[in-house]
A and B are shown apart, each in its own frame.
Chain A
Amino acid sequence: MIPQKRIGAFLCTCGDTLSSSVGVEELKSQVELLPGILFCHVHDALCQEEGRAFLKEQVQASYLEGILLAGCSPRGHGAIFERLIAQWGLNEQMLEVVDIREGCAWVHADQPDGATAKAQGLVRMGWAKLSMKGPWQDADLPLRKSALIVGGGPAGMAAALGLAQQGMKAHLVEKDNMLGGWLRRLSSLYPSGVKGADLLETMKRKMEQSPFISILLNHEVAAVKGNVGNFLVHLRARAECKTIKTGAVILAMGAQPFVPSGLFKYGEVQGVMTQEELESALLQGQEFSGTTVFIQCIGARIPERPYCSSICCPEALKNAGLIRTRWPQSKVFLLHRDVMAPGVDLERLYHQAMDSGVRFLRYTPDHLPSIEGTGSVRAVKVLDSLGGREMVLEADRVILSNPLVANPANAELAGMLSLSLDGYGFFAGRSLLEPNQMAIPGIYACGTSCWPCSVQEAITQGVAGAGSVLALLKAETAKASDFGAMEGVKGWPAVVKESACSGCGNCSQACPVKSIGLQPLNGRRVARVNKVRCTGCGTCATVCSGGAIQTPSLSDAMATKMIHEAFQ
C-alpha cells in the first residue's frame, strides 16, 4: 500500500465560464471523496494575482505535499504553476494539472452531462497519477569547461578559435601532420576571392597565439566514453596514446572528393582532370590558355548518388571566370544540368562568369556529353538542350566537377558515439532546426562532415558549433533533466529494479539514445541507466518482459490505475 500524501484539490472555473458545461459543484463533491484529498476548493481564476495568493496560502496552511489542479490546459499556465510551487518549497513534480477547459468544457460545450462525467474521469485520473508519484530527484551534472574538436580544417579551426576567444579550452585533434584541410588545397575561395593559403595563415597564427588552444597533430580518436559535460576521449597516435577529458565534442572531419574513375575518360586520356586537380594546378601557376570545358554533375544527381553536392557549380563558376579573366585569349565552356547558384553572392558569381565570357550549355542526363580523343583530349561532344543541336567543342582540357562524398571517418566516429548517419554517410542533426547538434547531448558536427558546403559556410557552422558548446557549458553545473528529448520538457530517467532484471538486454537494444548498458552485479548482468542520456521516453519499459525497468513519471502501475479510474 502506498502511503497517502497530503493532497489539496483546486478547481478553477476561469471566471465562471466553465460552469455552463461542467457541473462544478458535482465535480467538487466527487473530488472531496477521493482518498488522500484534504479539501477541494473552487476558485474563479487561480492564474490571477489574487488566485495565486489564495493558492499559496492554502498550500502553506495545510502543509500540502501534492496539488491537484483542474482548470485550463497545462500548456497555458502549467509551467508558471510549476515554478510557483517550487518557490513555495514543494517539488515541482508534485503538481498535476488536469485540463477540464480546452479538452473538456470547450469541446463538449453542447453536452453538459457528458462534459461533467468526462471532467470527473479526468480529475480522478489526475488524482491516481499524483497519488502514486514520488518527488523527482534530479541528478547534478558537473560540466567540464573544455571541448574536443576532431578535424583541423576550416570548420574545426573556426570552432577552436570561437571557443578560445571566450576563454574556453579547445583541444584540436588532426590526423594529418599539419592544419588546414581543404584550405591547403584550394587556390581561392568563393564568393570572397580570398586565397585559401592566406586565410589558413591568419587562422593558424591566431590559433598558435591563443593560450586556450592545444593542437594535437597526427592523432586520431580511438574511443569516446561518458556523457555531456564529462566525455573521456582516447586518442591514438604513432608515438603515444592520450586520454583527454572534455565537456563536449565537435566533429569536423570534412568530406572527400568523389574520384570519377572510369567516367568521362578520367585517368584514360590526358587533359581530363577533377576540380581539385584544377585547384592545385592553379595553385602551382599552370597556364590555362586554349579551350577549357567544364562538365558538371560528374557522379552526382545520378541514381547511385542522387544528391546535389552544392559546391561544384559555384566552384566551377569561380574557376571558369578566373581562367577567362586571367587568360583573355582562352575559351571556356561550362556544360551543366542546372546552374546551382542560390542566394545573392552565388548568383553574382554566375553573372560575373557570364560577363567574363564563359559560355554555358545545358545538357540533359539522357544525352551525356562525351570526350573525344585518344591519348589526350581533342574535343567534347554535347547535345545543347536549348539549341537542340549537337555541338563538337574542340578542347585542350576537360574539368570534371565531382561531388563531395562522406568521409569514412564519419562512420568510425558514429560507431564510437552511437550516432546514426544519413543514407550517404553524413551526420544529420537531431532535428531539422538543430542541424549541428547530434542526437547525443554534447556532441556537435560542423562543416562538410554534415553535408557538402563552402569554406565560408563551414566556418559559419564552426562558429555556430562553438557558440552552442559555450551556451551548453557556461553554467557551473547542469541538471540531468536539462537534456530531455525536448528542451524545456522534463523527462524522468528510467529506473531499474535490479532484483527483477534478467539482464536480457532488450532495453539496451531498444533505447534510441543508447543510455542503457549492462553491468555485472553479483555474478549476473543488470541494466544500468545513464541518467543524463536518458530522455524518459519509456521505450525501454515497453520491451521489458519482467517489468523491471520503468519511467517513474508514468509507470505501468500508474497507467493501470489511471485507466481503471477513467472507466470506473
Chain B
Amino acid sequence: MSGSALIIGGGIAGIRASLDLAGMEIPVHLVECKPFLGGALLQLDRLYPTDHCAWCPVWPLMRHVGNHPLITIHSLSEVRSIQGKAGAYQATIGHLPTYIRSERCTGCGECLKACAKRSPAAGRGGSLPILKPNSYVLPKGWVIDRNLCGECIGCQEACPFKAIDFQMIEEIKIVEISTVILASGFDPGPLNRLEEYSYGAHPDIISAMEFETWISEWGPNAGQVLRPSDGQKVRHLAFVLCAGSRDRRGYDYCSAVCCMYAVKEALWACRRSKDLQATIFFTDLRACGRDFQEYVQSAGESGRIQFIRSRPGRIQPGGERGALQILYEDTNARNTQEMNVDMVVLAQPQAPPRGLEKSTFQSGSFACGCCQDPADAVQSVISASAAALRAAETIKGGRVT
C-alpha cells in the first residue's frame, strides 16, 4: 500500500482535494488533461454573486499546489488505466508531448514571434498553436498544440535555448496509489439536439460557455459585446435557460447553475455595453444561495434586464437587419408572442464528463465537484474537501470502503 492518492481533474475541486490531502501528509498525483490547472474556472469571465474575476480566488490556491512538496502535477496527461486491488492500485498516466522542453524554456516568447500561424487570419477566438501560460496559471511550461501547428518549424529556429523538440512523444508513468478521487468536472451538454433552437445553424446563437469568453475583457473582443455574424454591437440580447436541462428528451434534471450565470452574464453584458437590453427566458428562477436573490433583484432593478417566464418554442433567423426571431408563450398574457433579438445565448446543461460511465469504478474511490452532480464553484470546493477526508480515511484508517 503506497498511501498516495490519485486525483483525476485539476479544476477547482481537484485543486482543493489535493491541498487537503497533502495537508494531511498524503502524497497526491494530480492529473489534468489540459496543459494548465484551473478547469472550467479558467474559461469563466466572472463569478456570481460577488462579481469576482473568476481567476482571482483560484490562483493563490494554485500557487500553493505548485509549491507543495507532496503534490505532483501531471498536466496534459490522461489516466490510461487503473489496475490492482482495493487499496493498492497502479495507475498508468500518459503524459502527452508538449513539444517544448520545460527545463530549457525561459518563456521569452521568441517562438511566438516566429510562428507562421500568428497572423490575425488564425481564426475566430485567435487560437494559436503555441500556448503561453499567463502569469496566474500552473504549471508554467509552454505547450505547442500540434493540431493547430503548421509545422513550419519557424519556432524551432527562433528559440534561443533550443527548447523546442518535435520529436517528443507520449511518456508513460506508472504510479502506485491507494485511493482515487474523481474530480473531472462537467461537459457542456450538447445543444444541437434541440433542433428548434438552431444552434450551429446560425453564428449569433451561441452557448453560455462560449459567451463567457466572447464578452470578457480577455476574450477576442476585449470586453465588447458584439454580434458574431457581423461584428455589430448587440442591442438586444436574449438568454434561454434550461436549453437541454429539465427536458425529458435529454437531461431531465436541473443543472443548478444556469439561472445564476445567465443573470451574471446579462449584468456584465449590460455593464460593458451602454445601450444593451437583455431578456432572460426562464422556467423557475432558482436563486437559492447567499446573496443570490439580491443579485437577481439588482438585475431586474437595472431596468435593462427583463425576465420572462417561458421556454421559447422556436428560435429562427428572419427578423429585420439580420435579427433572430424568438417565438414563445407569454405565460402571463396566455398567448404566443414573437421577439426580435440580435443574439441568443443558450444555457446548456452540465452533462457528466465523457468517459465517466465507462471508467472502471473501483472501491476506494470518491467523486466530487460537478462530475458528481451539477454544482457551482462553491459547492465544488465543499464536496472536494469532504471527498478528501473520505479518501484519507481509506488510507489512514486502514479501512477501504
Residues of A within 8 A of B (CB): 14-17, 44-45, 47-49, 72-73, 75-76, 79, 102, 106, 162, 165-167, 301, 306-310, 338-348, 351, 385-386, 388, 422, 426, 428, 431-436, 451, 457, 460-461, 463-468, 470-472, 474-475, 486-489
Contacts and interface: CB of A to CB of B under 8 A. Distances in A.
- For A47, A348, A428, A461, the residue with the greatest tally of chain B CB atoms inside 10 Å of its CB is A47
Given A338-B285, A461-B382, A464-B386, A433 B61 contact: yes
B161 A48 contact: yes
A48 B106 contact: yes
B284 A340 contact: yes
B20 interface: yes
A428 B385 CA distance: 17
Contact of A467 (B52, B290, B389): B389
Contacts of B91: none
B374 A471 contact: no
A14 B108 contact: yes
B101 to A, nearest CB: 10
B25 A76 contact: no
A351 B252 contact: yes
Contacts of A306: 293-294, 297
B141 to A, nearest CB: 12
Given A14-B106, A351-B252, A73 B135 contact: yes
A433 B378 contact: yes
A44 B106 CA distance: 10
Contacts of B104: 48
Given A15-B108, A341-B254, A308 B385 contact: no
Interface stretch (B30-38, B149-157, B392-400): B392-400
- For A17, A347, A436, A466, the residue with the greatest tally of chain B CB atoms inside 10 Å of its CB is A347
Contacts of A17: 108-110, 160
B52 A338 contact: no
Nearest to A308: B288
A306 B301 CA distance: 14
Interface in B153-171: 160-161
Nearest to B392: A166
Give the top 10 A-B pairs by smallest Cβ distance, nearest first: A471-B23, A15-B160, A464-B385, A467-B389, A310-B288, A342-B256, A338-B284, A344-B253, A463-B386, A464-B386
A111 to B, nearest CB: 18
Contacts of B60: 486-489
Interface in B59-101: 60-61, 63-64, 66-67
B52 A345 contact: no
B48 to A, nearest CB: 9
A143 to B, nearest CB: 12
- For B246, B384, B385, the residue with the greatest tally of chain A CB atoms inside 10 Å of its CB is B385
B107 A433 contact: no
B289 A451 contact: yes
Contacts of A165: 393, 397
A460 B373 CA distance: 14
A347 B110 contact: no
16 contacts: A14-B108, A15-B110, A48-B161, A73-B135, A79-B67, A165-B397, A301-B293, A341-B284, A342-B286, A343-B254, A343-B375, A422-B291, A464-B384, A465-B385, A471-B20, A474-B23
Contacts of B20: 467-468, 470-471
- For B16, B373, B382, B384, the residue with the greatest tally of chain A CB atoms inside 10 Å of its CB is B382
B289 A310 contact: yes
B374 A342 contact: yes
B252 A460 contact: no
B287 interface: yes
B397 A487 contact: no
Nearest to B41: A433
A442 to B, nearest CB: 13
Contacts of B57: 431-433
A436 B374 CA distance: 20
B381 A434 contact: yes
B201 interface: no
Contact of A338 (B47, B58, B286, B381): B286
B106 A72 contact: yes
B389 A340 contact: no
B24 interface: yes
Contacts of B294: 306-307
Nearest to B19: A471
A250 B292 CA distance: 25
A72 B107 contact: yes
A166 B378 CA distance: 25
A467 B392 contact: yes
A47 B106 contact: yes
Contacts of B344: none
B320 interface: no
- For B63, B107, B110, B397, the residue with the greatest tally of chain A CB atoms inside 10 Å of its CB is B107
Contacts of A385: 331-332
Interface string B361-397: 0000000000001110110011111101110110011
Nearest to B378: A435
A464 B160 contact: no
A432 B103 contact: no
B235 interface: no
A432 B293 contact: no
B119 interface: no
A345 B373 contact: yes
